[in-house]
Amino acid sequence: MASEGAVGGGDDVDAVLQAALQRLALLAEATDALSSTLDGAVALRRLCQVLLPQLADWCAADLLDEHGLAHRVVVAHWERLPASHLEGPLPPVLEASSDPLARVLRGAGPLVVDHGVMASMEDGSALHAAQGALFSELGARSAVIAPLRARRQTLGALTLARSGDAFTLTENDLALVEDLAHRTALAVDNSRLHASVQSTAEHLQRSLLPTLLDVAPLSVAARYVPARTAVEVGGDWYDCFALPDGAAALIIGDVTGHDLSAAVIMGQMRNMLRALVCDRLEPPGDILRRLDVISHTLYGGHTATCIYAHLEPGPHDSWQLTFANAGHPPPLLVSHDGDTRYLSSGHSVLLGIEPDTPRPSSTHTLAPDSTLLLYTDGLFERSGEDLDRGLARLRQHAAALTREPLEVFCDELLAGLVHGGNDDIALLAVRLPPRGLKPPAEEPRGAGRTVPRRSRPPRTSPAMRRG
């Protein structure tokens, strides 16, 4: 008998250890699922995939928004029964309601609920009716509703339910569900903090970008897309404005780095370049050289790429583009017929490397109704892919969109090329007027420009006319 007792005691210990190991394994899987993404809704769905059917037959996750309104974010069944129609906004959480979910969302719990309690409860609130419909449609003989608490706030509730009588959720499961709810709440809180910081960073970045001014008869459109996998601000920027001599200045640039310092330097470099362009009326290469000297003096150690282009009317409805390129991806020119070519001349090292190096300017004649695209490398680069392949893909997409309106051109280009990434994207597209539409001969172009043409000295450098 003693031997039998010893064996029986050993079996009990093994059973307890096995249960503990299963619990630890479940918690580890749940933690991995919750930490695999910063999207709160996605994290909750992955959590349900782990918990079903190990711990429950179905689960639901409800979250409170900033106004205290509840939203059913996830309803999942282990047999993949249709449940998306049960998701969405929930009725208000009334203070007087005795419904278990209402109590949990007000801060109580975790609570064990069985079908008898739900059926016999006299609660006329709309939230209780919604809960009754959920329990009835998916079947719930027993359930645990646990609050999602983080930083002394209730963020929502996690409901786990069993449909049969063989395995029911009881008071013995509260500790495990409460642990899961705590981990879930931390994941939800982190996702909200991430979204808040990302929104703030994006707002800061956009506030540093200029409002495009009128440079008619040119059509101009620009886009900025923040990196979706990071919350840092970046150094990408674009600019376009009319010059005192009647030409249009086109600028695209990218300060190295993804932090507040890069964004601040970007804003300051943009303003310095604006001032130099408006004041000097020199060839673009000379302008970039001056910018490099100034930025090296003020922000030594930082590098940036940049294109400054000068666009003005030429003979026979053509346009003359003169630009300099400091280490930036080359401009893409797309004709009205869909022919494409990269303007790879006028290239020099990026800013911040050799501030005194001469920087060439290059001049090209652009045909009417063509499209010029300036962009940053996030538009075409993909991890592990050759750059030439990315540039070829950009040419193909741009050629297919050449006759679309310019706004559509930009939107469809982003839709076809961007699939999330680790880098910001800025692009500036310019559509030249069709043949026969010439700009005014004497009137200055550009919103808010009051400086007459003769108030500035003419350009005398032959570099502006070299092809």
pLDDT for 21-56, tens place per residue?
A: 888 888 898 889 888 888 888 999 999 999 998 899
261 and 190 part of one domain: no
Would you state the pLDDT for residue 182?
Answer: 94
Q: How many residues does the chain have?
A: 467
Q: Report yes or no on 6 lying in a domain.
A: no
Q: Domain ends where: 139, 168, 199?
A: 199
Would you state the pLDDT for residue 213?
Answer: 78
CB 165 within 8 A of CB 199: no
189 and 219 part of one domain: no
254 and 304 part of one domain: yes
136 and 256 part of one domain: no
CB 352 within 8 A of CB 303: yes
| H-helix or E-strand spanning residue 71 | strand 70-77
pLDDT digits (tens, 9 = 90+) for 112-144: 998 777 777 888 899 999 998 898 888 888 999
Q: Please tell me the total count of domains within the chain.
A: 2
Looking only at the bridges linking them, the beta strands covering 347-348 and 319-326 are: parallel
Omega prior to 53 cis, within 30 of 0: yes
3-state secondary structure 168-211: CCCHHHHHHHHHHHHHHHHHHHHHHHHHHHHHHHHHHHHHHCCC
Q: How far apart are CA 236 and CA 255, in angstroms?
A: 6
342 and 246 part of one domain: yes
177 and 223 part of one domain: no
Q: Domain ends where: 180, 199, 218?
A: 199
Contacts for 364 with CB less than 8 Å, ≥ 6 apart: 320, 321, 322, 333, 343, 345, 467
391's tokens? 């540039």
Q: Report yes or no on 16 lying in a domain.
A: no
**Which residue range is the domain that position 316 belongs to?**
209-465
Q: Which residues of the chain have pLDDT under 70?
A: 1-11, 166, 197-208, 228-234, 258-260, 420-422, 437-467
Q: Report yes or no on 7 lying in a domain.
A: no
Would you state the pLDDT for residue 228?
Answer: 61
Q: Report yes or no on 341 lying in a domain.
A: yes
The alpha helices in 36-94, defined as continuous H runs, are 40-51
Would you state the pLDDT for residue 456?
Answer: 38
What CATH number has the domain bearing residue 330?
3.60.40.10
160 and 220 part of one domain: no
Would you state the pLDDT for residue 449?
Answer: 35
82 and 193 part of one domain: yes
Residue with tokens 């029964």: 81
Amino acid in the structure at residue 157: A
Report CA dihedral (97, 98, 102, 105) to the nearest 10 degrees: 110
Would you state the pLDDT for residue 258?
Answer: 64
Q: Report yes or no on 14 lying in a domain.
A: no
**What values do phi and psi take at 33, rounded to 5?**
-65, -40
Contacts for 191 with CB less than 8 Å, ≥ 6 apart: 37, 38, 39, 40, 43
Would you state the pLDDT for residue 201?
Answer: 64
CB 378 within 8 A of CB 421: yes
Nearest residue to 174 via CA among 105, 223, 104: 104
310 and 458 part of one domain: yes
213 and 180 part of one domain: no
Would you state the pLDDT for residue 421?
Answer: 60
Burial class (CB in 10 A: 0-12, 13-18, 19+), 212: middle
109 and 216 part of one domain: no
173 and 256 part of one domain: no
Name the E strands within 198-286: 219-225, 236-242, 248-255
Mean pLDDT, the chain, integer: 84
Q: Report yes or no on 366 lying in a domain.
A: yes
Q: Report yes or no on 10 lying in a domain.
A: no
Q: Report yes or no on 5 lying in a domain.
A: no
Q: Domain ends where: 171, 199, 227?
A: 199
